[in-house]
Amino acid sequence: MPETNAMDQFRLDNRVALVTGGSKGLGKSMALGLAQAGAATVICSRHVDECGVVAEEIAAETGQQSVGMAADVTQEGDVDRLFGAAQAAFGRLDILINSAGINIRHLVEDFPADDFRHVIDINLTGTWLCCRAAGRIMKPQGRGSVINMGSALSAVGLVERTAYCSSKAGILGLTRTLALEWAPSGVRCNAICPGPFLTEINQPLLKEPEKLQAVVEQTALSRLAELHEIRGAAIFLASDASSYMTGAALFLDGGWTAQ
């Protein structure tokens, strides 16, 4: 790649990003960050009204085009329609962030099998379906950046989270394999592995102060992360600033996995 000004490498002008789980939490924060860096965005969630409202907010705040599109990432037909609509609307797709995800907590003896499958379906199978759809668009383009959402729990375990930890460990295997498959075409695939952010998925911890404190104490920084702290990592992996990075996992976990 030609050498450019260091700060210009982080710009996303004239690029199109699709963010699943983009109507709330980390997905919404990352979508806003990509738009602030110049990208047009497609905000996806299961509810068209929610993603439409967020798209309007991002467009108003950044001046970048943003549209909401509803899809259930566990449904193959929904995913294929979503990516077809995004390509039809913008003519290309440069960035995908797979941020749709859930967490269900039970001790393994009490864990309903249907709940386990539900977590795997959304967190891992849904990511796989979206990656497959993105690859079909990005490979012919000869470029693209896919960012999968792992977790600090991709690398370490935590009680009551057999489904979540299993799904997020799987994300790293998926990410590394796709990086190898796509490298000849110029498409990159990396993962962000967040630690404890106060997202909707972690809201139940607020009702259990002892469990919340136990999670916070796992981090070296001894605090929860704020939502905006995910944006720099997303922009980095989406942009040319990370042009030589693929198959990597970027841990944004306050030092959890350093211990």
Q: Catalytic residue among 83, 90, 116, 164, which? A: 164
In degrees to the nearest 10, what's the CA dihedral of 40, 51, 173, 236?
30
Active site residue 244: no
The amino acid sitting at 56 is E
Q: Per DSSP, which regions of the chain are E strands? A: 16-20, 40-45, 66-70, 95-98, 144-149, 187-194, 249-252
Phi-psi region of 131 (alpha: psi -120 to 50; beta: other; left: phi over 0): alpha
* Greatest Cα pair distance in the chain: 56
The amino acid sitting at 94 is D
Residues noted as catalytic: 164
